Amino acid sequence: MCSICGEINFRTPPDITYDRQMSETMTHRGPDQHGQRIAGAASLWHNRLAVIDPANGVQPMRAVWKGRCYSIVYNGEIYNTDQLKPRLQSEGATFVTECDTEVVLWAYILHGADCPTMLNGIFAFAVWDGERLFLARDRFGVKPLFYTEVGGGLLFASEIKALLKHPAVSPTVDAMGLWQLLYLSPVTVPGSGIFRDIHEVKPAHAGHYSREGLTLTPYWRLKAERCTDTAYEASARVRELLTDAVTRQLSSDVPLCTFLSGGLDSSVVTALAADKVDKLATYSFEYEGNKTHFHRTSFQPQGDDMFAIKAARYLGTDHTVLTVPTDAVADCLTDAVRARDFPGQADIDSSLLWFCRQVKQRHTVALCGECADEIFGGYPWFYRPEMLYRDFFPWIHDPTVRVGLFRPEWARPEEGYSALSDLYRDTLAECPTLDGEPDEDHTARVATWLSVNYFMASLLERKDRMSMAGSVEVRVPYADHRILEYVFNVPWRIKFAGGVEKALLRGAAEGLLPDSILWRKKSPYPKTHNPAYEQKIRQMLAVRLKAEDSVLAPLLSAGALDSLLQGDDGTWFGQLMSRPQLLAWLLQFDRWVREYNVTFSV
């Protein structure tokens, strides 16, 4: 993977000094090679993590067609290059590398704005043709792309921190940005960059920036269609699609591994990969002290470690268990904020960052099991309509917990709740549905739509930022758009057969894994259960609240934090975030405001 950034300015020449600084903030995403191209109104910059054809893939990459020079900066992996290259060659393309970058460039040269529809993969890229810039992002937003319009020009970058390096961009958060932080984060609203006037190119969107301005439109939409396949046919189709997705994503010229938790999703990916790779390397993640302090819950009835080892032995992989020290989970909180550019998922982020740094010592590319729950229906709101058809996002168990810690005259909680509730209802109404379909199918379809556009987008953002902060490329086979297009329309009675979540995926994986893993109840990404972690976070927070430069102290509502510290340790967000994570999030918030010089305009 890589980082991209640049400036287009038709009024005055781009300021190369600031453009270089933008690029330098993202060298973690591409430590292997660095390049830039200054051409008229355009300044394009690239940092490369070399994965395919390391010797010949330096960017920006150029090609000439009919007297016009085209330049691309690209971040991603395209998994259907073998199919695209012959077609593009027959249309006039000439290739001098084995890089997918060159395939994307020629796809744009020959097909223009339609080129993203041709691509199977994860990508964010920009192409300059001397007169206008083309921007595009993959269908699910696996790869990031942000932009802002300032000084009569356009700035774009893989991460927000790069844009904030430019002196014309202010680190200001308005009311909607604040409400996202206090109510939704780590989830954000599609298209939002949290900071005022910073936006993201939405997933499945592309368009041009020219003298007339920026125009972005969707090039792909999820469609509701009738599916008459039997359960057997549906399982066979999913097996076929997933096998093809994993096989395509094994292409790499550098060491490759998989993340293997011992849960269904990662075990299926690993089983399919192990069938293609001799002595596949796998990693599982654990926390110091969890064997002693693990607490069983309905969300997490079992620990992962024994299942990961069992799956590795069954599949014959070269397995490594990475155990993160408790102090490291806390110490990486600041780096996790820097990676994400806002306070996100606290130690759920920081632990993944630590793990990826360890993986990087041996491997550069990893396949993971992310996105299966959102696509196949692994969450309770898929089959519990009372969770879905309320006024707020179903994974937020109590919307008042976090915002209630802050002074109401500053946070304006009632106004924020109303605005985000309206957004939630609008999102539900946008879901493509079929007239006359059973209520259970309608509910599952809406749950998928909501999960993919918000919850899954947040998990993909986390995976990208934490892995790239460790200079590791993580691929997501379940996020192959062909899988979602098919599964979205499979009847719920097949996806939830026997009252078992993700029954369709389990059926598709028959014969790949032992039954103890194939039919294991869903287990989320692990978290620390060690009480020493919360004790350390409490101590760190106490220090920050007493510090002269504390951001939190003047913003917190009197007595609210004491009530939290003395109350029950209830889960308040998703399946993992309880009191230790909320306290850690407050630490991240304080650090973020101070380090990013954030101002609030609410």
The catalytically annotated residue of 2, 5, 257, 356 is 2
- The yes-or-no answer on residue 2 being catalytic is yes
Q: What is the CA radius of gyration of the chain?
A: 23
Tokens 């969890």 -> residue: 290
Beta strands in 10-140 (DSSP E): 33-39, 42-48, 61-65, 68-78, 121-128, 133-137
Beta-strand pair 256-259/365-367: parallel
In angstroms, the CA 570 to CA 397 distance is 10
Classified as helix, coil or strand, 225 is coil
- 199: part of which helix (H) or strand (E)? strand 199-200
Contact between 128 and 42 under an 8 Å Cβ cutoff? The reply is yes
Spatial CB neighbours of 37, under 8 Å, sequence gap ≥ 6: 43, 44, 60, 62, 71
CA distance 499 to 339: 39
| Residue 54: partners with Cβ closer than 8 Å, 6 or more residues away | 32, 253, 254
The C-alpha angle with vertex 57 and arms to 53 and 62, in degrees rounded to 5, equals 145
Residue 127 C-beta-side C-alpha neighbours within 13 Å:
29
Token digits for 260?
A: 């293997």
DSSP character string of 108-156 = HHHHGGGGGGG--EEEEEEEE-SS-EEEEE-TT--S--EEEEETTEEEE
> In which residue are the tokens 């739509």 written?
449
Secondary structure class of 564 (helix, strand, coil): helix
User: What are the catalytic residues?
Assistant: 2
